[in-house]
Every structure is written in C-alpha cells, then in structure tokens.
Amino acid sequence: MNESRKEILQIVVVLVGIIFLIKLFSIQVLDSRYAEMADSNAILRQVEYPFRGLIYDRNHKLIVYNTPEYDIEVIVKDIKKFDSLKFCEVFEISSDQLRTKFKEMKARKEYSPFKPTLFIDQLSNMDFARVQDRMDEFPGFYIQARTTRAYSSTALANALGYVSEINKTQLANDKSRIYKQGDYIGQSGIEAFYEAQLRGKRGIRFKLRDVKGIEKGSFNEGKYDTLSVPGQNLITGIDIDLQLYGEYLMKGKSGSIVALEPATGEILSLVSGPSYDPTLLTGKNYSANFRLINSDTLKPLFNRPLMAQYRPGSIFKIAQAMTALQENVITPETRIRCDRSIINCHGAHSNEDLRGAIANSCNPYFYNVLRRMLNQDVSHDPYEDTRIGLSEWNKHITSFGFGSPLGIDLPSEKSGLIPTPAYYDRAYHNRPWKFSNIYSIAIGEGENLVVPIQMANFAATIANRGYYFIPHLVKAVGEDGNPLPKYTERHYTSINSSHFEVAVDAMQKVVEAGTGQYRARLADIIVCGKTGTVENAPPMHDHSVFIAFAPKDNPKIAVSVYVEDAGQGARAAASIASLMIEKYLLGQTKRPYIEQYVLNNKFE
Amino acid sequence: MRREEDIAGKLDWVAVLLYIAMVGLGWLNIFAAVYDESVNQTIWDLSLNSGRQLIFIAASFVIILAIVVIDMRFYETFAYLFFGIILIVLILVPFIGKEVGGNKAWLGFGSFGVQPSEFAKVITAMAVAKFIGSVGFRMDNIRNQLILFSIIGAPMLLILLQKDTGTALVFTSFVLVFYREGFPPFLLVVGIFAAIIFVLTLLVPNQIYLHAAIAIVLVALIVFGKKKLRQVMLLAIGALLISGVIESVDYVITDVLKPHQQNRIKALINPDADPLGFGWNVTQSKIAIGSGGFTGKGFLEGTQTKFDFVPEQSTDFIFCTIGEEHGWIGSFLVIGLFVALLLRVIFISERQKSRFARAYGYSVASIFFFHFAVNIGMTIGLFPVIGIPLPFFSYGGSSLWGFTILLFVLLKLDAHRSQMLQRV
C-alpha cells in the first residue's frame, strides 16, 4: 500500500547525491579561491637573503665580512594560543615593548596578517641560541636568518660606510623595485657607492609546512625556487696596515690623511679623525648608537678627506708656479725680491729663484707671480685684464682636479672652490674688482677651498709629472675584476709635463733644506714635500698641512695630511706624512722619536 | 557444504562488490590522510591508522563469515534480547567506559576500545524491524507509533547522555523506515519544515521579514484557497506556530545548545567570521576539498590533509582527502558508490517477502543515508559539523564493524528471502 513511497525515498537519495556533486563542482572547479587559500595555508614563501659581497684590502686581507643574524618574523593569522607572558620571558622584552611592537607592525603600510612580517630584528647569536628551541611554543612566529656586517678591525669606518634597513624615502625612490621594506641597503661609504655590486640577488624558496608551521621540505621539488646570488666581492687598494697606522697617528686629532698610489690612483689609506668603531652601526643597537655617534660634537661621521674644505695654504704655491711657468710669465730662474711691504713672509731669505721660493715658501714671490699671471696687459683696463688673467688661471688650476669633485668612488664628495671672475662678481655685488682685491689667493689663502683628497691627488699629479688617475678605493669588482672604467683613464693637466721637474726639485729641497726639513726627511728615501700652514680663526691655532710623495723617482706613494688646529705644517702634518711614507715603503718607522712626537705632542 | 555454496550463490554480489570497493578505497584514503613523507612509511605500518584499519577490515571478513554461517532466524528471534542488553551496556558506559576525546563512550578491552553506540544502531534496527514485522502490527495505531518512537528514543537518550550528539541524531533516521511502512508523512513534513525555518531564521538577520513572509503566505492561502472557517482557522494556527518556532530559535541557540554546538551552527552560516576559531574545521575542510580541482592533486600529494590542516582527517573528515587528492572526479566516484549502494539496499529491501526483512532493509538504508548525507554535507559546508563517520571510509573498528554487520545481516536475510513467510 505504501509502494509509491519507495520512489520518493529513491528520489531523495539521488537528489542529495546531485546536490553534493553540484556543490562540490562549484567549490572545486568553479571557485579558484580555495586553491589559493590552500597554497597560502601550506606553502610558505621564504626569502633567502643573499650574502653581501666581502671587502678586501690590496693584499687580500679581509676588511668587511658577514656574520649571521636572526630576525623574528610573524604571520599574524597563524598565531595561536599566544602566551604573551611566556613570549616576553623568552625574548627578554617587557610587555609594554611587546605591545608597541605589535602596534608598530600593524601601523606599517604593507602590513598583512597573511604575510610574514618583521617583528623583532637582529637577535644576537646568544639570543638566537636561547630562543631557537622554544620557537615551537609560538606558532605563527618564525626565525628568518640573514647576515649582518662584521669588521676585521675598527679601521676605515667612514670610507666603508654602513648598512641599515632601507628607509621610507629610499623605498619610495627605488624605481627598480628591487627593495622591500625591511631590506638592508648601504647607507654611506663603499657600502652605498657599490650597493649594486655588493647586494647580490635575493632568492625565494617555497616550502611546504604543516598546520603547526613546521617545515616539510620544498614545494614541487624546488621547481619554483630561485637561489640567492651572493654579492660581488670588492678588492680595494687600501693597505689595511697603513690605514691602521694612520688612524693610530691621528688618535685624538681632527683632520685627515690621504695616501695614494700615484701610478694607479688607488687609495692606500683614507684616514678621517676622529672616527668610530664600524661595529657600532651593525646589529640590534644600530639606532641607539647612530644617534650617539651622529650627535657627537667632533662629528665622527663627517668624512673629512672628502667633505672637509680648507684653504690650501702654501701648498698652493706649487700650483701657482706651474701655472705661471705654463703662461711664460716666469722662468725657473726668475728671481723676485722678498719685499715684505704688502704681504708678510717668514724665515731668512731675500732674493730667491723659483725653487728657492718654493723651498722657503716665500709669500712676496708668489704675490708677484700671481700679479704677472693675472695682469698680462692683454687689456689696458686693469679690471678687464684681471678678469682675462683669472679665467686663464682658473683653467690651469682646475685642470689639477681642484674646484669640482674628483669623482672618487664614495658618496658626498665636496668640490672645494677655485674662484672664477663670475664668482668675484657675485662676491663684490657686481662692483669692479682687480688684482689688488684678490691677491690673497696667491698664497693659498683667500677664497680658495680644497678638499684633502684633492691635495693628495695634487701630490700624485706632481709625482706623475703632469697627470693623475681619479683616486678610487676599489681596484677590482669581483675576484679577477677591474676597477670601474673611469678609474683607468689618465687625466692630464694643462701644464706641460717638463715644468713639473721644477716642482719636484723644489719639493725635494723643501724636505732637504727648506721648511719641512727636520721631521719629513728620511735616511734612505728621497721624500718630496711641501708644508702649509693654513690660517684659522683665532683663538684656534692654524691648520697644519703637508703634502708629499716618495721616492722622488718612480714614486710609490703620495700623501696629504691635514691636522686641524695644530699649528705649523712642518710639525704635526710633516711628521705624520713622513711616518706614513716610511710605514708604507719600509714596513715600519726607523724614527720612533717622531712617532712619539706625533702621538704625545698637543700641538698648541 | 552444499548449503554454504547456495548461500554464496544467493548473496547479492552487487552489494558485496560495492562494499569491497568502498572499504578498499577507504583504506587507501586513510593512508593518504595520515601519510607523512618525511618518515619512511608504508600503508602496512601498524603504528598508522591505515595499518590498523587493515586489521579492522580483516576482522570484518571474519564477522561477515559468521553472519553468513549463523542461522538467519537468529536476528529476528533475539532482537529484543539484544536490545535489552545494549540498553544496559549504554547505561553502564558512563560508569565503566574509558574517556576518549572528552566523551565516555568507549568500552575498553585491553588496548582496544569499542563504541557500544555503533552497535546500538544495528540492534535498534533489528528491534524496530521485529516490532514492525510482528503479527497484527498496524502503523496507523497510535500505541504502535509510541512504542516505535520509544524503541528509537531509548538508545538515543542514553547516547545523548554520553554527550555523543552526532550518533544520537542518527536514530532520527528511523523516521524514514516508519514513513515507508505507512507512517503519515505529516510528521516528516513538519520536521523538515521546522528545520528549514530554523536555518532561515539564522540566515535572515531580521526576524521581522520572516514573520511578514509568513503573513503574506497566509493571506494568499486564505484568499486563493477554500474559504471555509475550519481551513482558515487551521492555516492561522499553523502560521502562529511557525512564528513561534522562529521566536524560539534564538532561545534554542543561545540557551539550549552548548557553546560548541552554537558555534558549529554559526560556522555553517558564516565560516569566515572566525576562520581560526569555530569556523576552523569547516574552513579548512572546504579549503582542502576546494583546492582539489577537477582531477585532484594525486594520491599522497594533498598538502592540506597530509600536513594536518584538516582536523580528524582520517575519521570524520576523511572526505577531505578524497576531495583534495582526487578532485571532483574522485568525489563523483565516492558519491556515486554511495548512491548506488543506497539504491541497491532499497531495491533489496523491496524484494523481501517478510515485513521484518523489509523494515530492517530500510533501517540499513536510512542509517547509511543519514551518515552519508550529514558527513559529506558537513565537509562541504552544507551542514553543521556533527561528528559522525562516513560509512566504510572513516577510520575506526567499531563503526566499520557496525556498518558491516548492518549490511551483511540484510544480505543474509536477502539470500534466504524465498524461505521467509510472507507476512505483509
């Protein structure tokens, strides 16, 4: 009697089966969201940070290397049963800090609860050892390994620069879109200049993981993984022993030492005093240390060899001499009376030729030379004549690399200043000016400004008898690489190379018999040098300046030394320059008394 | 000897083959669900669910052999006795049982445990069939109806006391048997209607709309229907009742249901509200199945189930493994097998000459259907999460044996159907 009910039940069974199949078709075939959710569930996209390139000195001694460092990242949606008390205890932070960390993280623009986000950066090795075993108590939190910079010594901090997390402005300006929030980038020095070579390429690994976040091998046998490519190593021209010695000599002083190899333009040492320990700007305490170093009144972050601009002082007389010889306004035999009526002088001399005038740093001589140079009677108007002369003069002087950045492989290089007629027009508010207004540039005072690296380059140019290579730190990118192309070009000055022999002779005379003789002279090596004493605003003492190269024939090293507030160039600067030469050429000094003099004298 | 050959020849081999196919596929999927590629495991490994399931399957064949050998009158004769015993066991379980997963629903025998509630389904089916098959039984008799509801109500209540809501709900499936045997459809319709109203109440944020809809339907019925006073009164009372149900849903949800049960219903309606909390099971289950695509990720290649994203994946959520690793095609095969088995069981039931055998057959069909519909329904988010196994696929000895006994007792009765007295 109820036979028909059989059919109703059969229909219900088939209907349920069809409903299930339709629903399954919709979530399995039509809706791709579930597949994506499954991937983000089970597949962890892990960034593999590349090793940053290493930095070596010229003798393949390691200067900068990498040391592992561990960040804690979090995928917020994976957090389960979070025990904040335990977390604080394991990571040794206060609950306030924890709260701030969450707040900071969530405030970031690119924050997503589904993506790994930086939570705690840079655990030390010790922290890592403690935390590592307990990570499984905090599902959702992961350790991300990467490397931080480490240094074989405290030397060269300013030239090396530092690496830190990319900041917002940099990220916004990164058109290549290589960088991501939390990435590290070279912020100054070599690290910044050679960022593209050093950084390498990030790798991405897709890893399978289970519901507890425990890794279960690679996804699809690593078919989609990309390996990280380590950055290129840099071989610098730095002699790290010489660098350390230079920093040792500059201890307690402000100023700079630049040593170059004249034949290549490679920088042998680049000392900026005072300096800092580069290790301070790595790791967890970067921010605190940076604030500290940055607010130091002695400005340890100010890279003096490149950024400090001084008046050149008497050293400039050599450049004046070269210019005058080239313009045929004097010959090496031209004698000029040391008339101290307009401009004062020092030492006992009265009527020197060019070599003697350089050796004795005769001020009236070069006053006279510049007047001949600027006023060559091309025009009868003394104002116009000076303009024409100054233009010529400027052309020659700037051909030595003065007045504009040399193009060294570090950021923030200053240009210095070599006045042009236009400059004086501005300075005199378009009122007329002539030689008598501007003569103090004759002896390297007045408006001239130079940078220590330019002075070292000047010494190297004289050592090369008329040309230079742009000074550079890195002599090879990659193990068998080359320097950047622009560092292999010779730059000739506008001065005939035959004129340089006069300068070389004169500089030899400076050390053997002139102003620099006592402290710069070496027993076995002919040192050519020139002192400078740069006026400083009282009550400060003058800056002590010295440039030199050695040996006279086939020179191996050219040096410029600036010691601020240290008086005559013949004292601190000449001593340091000669010690650097000795150290480089002989390995050590034979004159410990000079070393002691440099280290212990207060130069007041 | 001759007699046994007869039995083998008379067994319904379509049903047996379907059974073997399902048990075999189930075993492979249990291995896939527990498979961990970092450990060198085989499907035979006895420390894994798959290895143990193989033992359960072997034991099932022993059980089948026993059922085939035992006289077919045995089940009908002792149905009430077994029923009495199982009620006593169910009463005792909370006291002597061991605790598994928060419930004291297990009886321990050494390291093995069995769930009496799984066997209660089989025995209740026999008892229900025996009562329906008894001389002079009439479904339109109120007393008989009450006795039937008592037979299914008693074990249901005892299992509810063990807090095993899922298994208890299975007993409601006997209503289908009653329906086939002549029970007025009124109760069924009211039950289904109440369920629809219940779900609608949860889905529609403001209950005012539901009340309004009911009012409109009521007015329409009165306007277009027979305008007799009795009819109008009945409709009005019905409408009031429905409105009452709607109002009571909120009360039921918040005051009667336990928090975890409330959450399961909430998860069904909006699993994204708290994907890590109460929606976790449904969300992960849907992700696993949904990520399978048309053809699936391949055997042992499912990332979601292999890495334990889906909870209880070898037992109640075994369908996730099928959906993820074998895609829509695999799901189609499994659902096809179930539909085929259910239709076959209905077919077998209908050809029985005794009312006992037919009622028992429908009990088997109803229980299988309930498990099939609810289990797969919950894994794909069509039903609240109710912890009941998918017959023959889910891991577990008790459930496999329970379902095996259910099916093979029917096949045994079917093999002897010509010897049965016709008592329809």
Dump the DSSP string for B283-351: HHHHHHHHTTTTT-S-TT--HHHHTT-STTTTTTTHHHHHHHHHHHHHHHHHHHHHHHHHHHHHHHHHT
Residues A219 and A342 in one domain: no
What is the average per-residue pLDDT within A550-567? 92
Of the ranges A389-403, A561-575, B276-290, the best mean pLDDT one:
A389-403
Does the pLDDT at position B2 exceed 60? no
A138 vs chain B: nearest CA distance in angstroms? 15
Work out the number of other CB atoms within 10 angstroms of the CB of residue B333: 14
DSSP state of B252: I
Number of folded domains in chain A? 2
Which chain B residues are within 8 Å of A43, Cβ to Cβ? 303
Does the pLDDT at position A14 exceed 90? yes
How would residue A492 be classed by pLDDT, with cut points 50, 70 and 90?
very high
Does the pLDDT at position A184 exceed 50? yes
CB contact under 8 A, B293 and A80: no
In three-state secondary structure terms, A44 is strand
Residue A403 pLDDT:
93
Distance CA B390, CA B30 (A): 12
How would residue B266 be classed by pLDDT, with cut points 50, 70 and 90?
low
Residue B423 pLDDT:
45
Residue A247 pLDDT:
94
Q: Which residue has the higher pLDDT, A212 or B331?
A: B331
Q: Which residue has the higher pLDDT, A267 or B386?
A: A267
Task: Count Cα atoms within 13 angstroms, Cβ side, for B397.
Answer: 18
Please identify which residue in the block is written with the tokens 């050429």. A585
Does the pLDDT at position A326 exceed 60? yes
Task: Count Cα atoms within 13 angstroms, Cβ side, for A570.
Answer: 13
How would residue B1 be classed by pLDDT, with cut points 50, 70 and 90?
very low
| Structural domain range at position A146 | 44-76+87-130+142-236
Please state, for a pLDDT cut of 70, what percent of chain A lies above it. 94
What mean pLDDT is reported for chain A?
Answer: 86
Please state, for a pLDDT cut of 90, what percent of chain B lies above it. 35
How would residue A349 be classed by pLDDT, with cut points 50, 70 and 90?
confident
CB contact under 8 A, B328 and A28: yes
pLDDT digits (tens, 9 = 90+) for B50-94: 888 999 999 999 999 999 999 888 998 999 999 999 999 999 887
pLDDT digits (tens, 9 = 90+) for B135-188: 888 888 889 989 999 999 999 999 888 877 788 889 989 988 998 888 877 767
Q: Which residue has the higher pLDDT, B221 or A377?
A: A377
Residue B254 pLDDT:
67
**A439-to-A185, A270, A360, A375, B247 alpha-carbon distances in Å:** 47, 33, 19, 11, 104
Q: Does B307 touch chain A (CB under 8 A)?
A: yes
B107 vs chain A: nearest CA distance in angstroms? 32
Distance CA B65, CA A493 (A): 109
In three-state secondary structure terms, A602 is coil
Q: Which residue has the higher pLDDT, B234 or A274?
A: A274
Residue B78 pLDDT:
93
CB contact under 8 A, B291 and A31: no
Residues A232 and A253 in one domain: no
Inside any domain, residue A465: yes
- By CB atoms closer than 10 A (0-12, 13-18, 19+), residue A302 is middle
Q: Which residue has the higher pLDDT, B89 or B238?
A: B89
**B238-to-B39, B232, B241 alpha-carbon distances in Å:** 62, 10, 5
pLDDT digits (tens, 9 = 90+) for B38-48: 556 677 777 77
ipTM of the complex: 0.84
Is residue A318 within a helix (H) or strand (E), and if so which, with residue range? helix A316-326
* Nearest Cβ partner for A34 among B287, B308, B338: B287
How would residue B382 be classed by pLDDT, with cut points 50, 70 and 90?
confident
The CATH number of residue A465's host domain is 3.40.710.10
Residues A258 and A222 in one domain: no
Which chain A residues are within 8 Å of B380, Cβ to Cβ? 20, 23-24, 27
Residues A444 and A520 in one domain: yes
Does the pLDDT at position A44 exceed 70? no
| Residue B353 backbone phi and psi in degrees, to 5 | -90, -25
Residue B34 pLDDT:
78
How would residue A182 be classed by pLDDT, with cut points 50, 70 and 90?
confident
Among A236, A267, A291, give the residue marking a domain's end: A236
Q: Does B284 touch chain A (CB under 8 A)?
A: yes
Closest Cα to residue A255, out of A112, A452, A38, A529? A452
Distance CA B413, CA B74 (A): 10
Q: Considering only A121-135, B254-268, B340-354, which range has the smallest mean pLDDT?
A: B254-268
For chains A and B, what is the number of CB pairs under 8 angstroms? Answer: 122
**B252-to-A21, A92, B248, B274 alpha-carbon distances in Å:** 32, 48, 6, 22
* Nearest Cβ partner for A209 among B307, B324, B339: B307
CB contact under 8 A, B369 and A16: yes
pLDDT digits (tens, 9 = 90+) for A127-174: 787 888 788 788 888 887 777 888 999 899 999 999 988 888 888 887
Residues A346 and A230 in one domain: no
- By CB atoms closer than 10 A (0-12, 13-18, 19+), residue A284 is middle
Q: Does B320 touch chain A (CB under 8 A)?
A: no
Distance CA A37, CA B29 (A): 22
A366's tokens = 């070069």
Distance CA B149, CA B124 (A): 11
DSSP state of B88: H
Residues A119 and A265 in one domain: no
Residue A43 pLDDT:
64
Q: Which residue has the higher pLDDT, A272 or A83?
A: A272
Please state, for a pLDDT cut of 70, what percent of chain B lies above it. 80
Residues A259 and A369 in one domain: yes
Domain ranges within chain B, ordered by starting residue: 2-184+257-419, 185-256
CB contact under 8 A, A217 and B286: no
Residues A582 and A531 in one domain: yes
Distance CA A593, CA B133 (A): 124
Closest Cα to residue B166, out of B394, B370, B353? B370
Cis bond before residue A539 (omega within 30° of 0): yes
In three-state secondary structure terms, B163 is coil
Does the pLDDT at position A38 exceed 80? no
Residues A406 and A548 in one domain: yes
CB contact under 8 A, B369 and A24: no
Q: Which residue has the higher pLDDT, A190 or A183?
A: A190
Residue B405 pLDDT:
95
Work out the number of other CB atoms within 10 angstroms of the CB of residue A435: 20
Phi-psi region of A466 (alpha: psi -120 to 50; beta: other; left: phi over 0): left
The CATH number of residue A201's host domain is 3.90.1310.10
Closest Cα to residue A390, out of A313, A471, A332, A448? A448
Least CA distance to B373: which residue of chain A? A16
Q: What letter represents residue B8's amino acid?
A: A
SS (H, E, C) A387-452: HHHHHHHHHHHHCCCCCCCCCCCCCCCCCCECCCHHHHHHHCCCCCCCHHHHHHHHHCCCCCEECH
B193 vs chain A: nearest CA distance in angstroms? 16
Residues A256 and A224 in one domain: no
Q: What letter represents residue A191's amino acid?
A: E
Q: Does B304 touch chain A (CB under 8 A)?
A: yes
Residues in CB range of B74: below 8 A, 6 or more apart: none
DSSP state of A226: B
Is residue A370 within a helix (H) or strand (E), and if so which, with residue range? helix A363-374
Residues A202 and A253 in one domain: no
How would residue A90 be classed by pLDDT, with cut points 50, 70 and 90?
confident
| Residue A297 backbone phi and psi in degrees, to 5 | -65, -20
CB contact under 8 A, A23 and B382: yes
- By CB atoms closer than 10 A (0-12, 13-18, 19+), residue A230 is middle
How would residue A412 be classed by pLDDT, with cut points 50, 70 and 90?
confident
Residues in CB range of B241: below 8 A, 6 or more apart: none
Distance CA B364, CA A406 (A): 94
B189 vs chain A: nearest CA distance in angstroms? 13
User: In B162-253, which residue ranges form alpha helices assigned H by DSSP?
Assistant: 165-170, 174-180, 186-203, 207-224, 229-251
pLDDT digits (tens, 9 = 90+) for A429-471: 888 888 888 888 888 888 899 999 999 999 999 999 999 999 9
In three-state secondary structure terms, B207 is helix
Distance CA A124, CA A169 (A): 28
CB contact under 8 A, A20 and B346: no
How would residue A27 be classed by pLDDT, with cut points 50, 70 and 90?
confident
Residue A61 pLDDT:
92
Distance CA A299, CA A293 (A): 8
Does the pLDDT at position B353 exceed 70? yes
Residues A193 and A254 in one domain: no
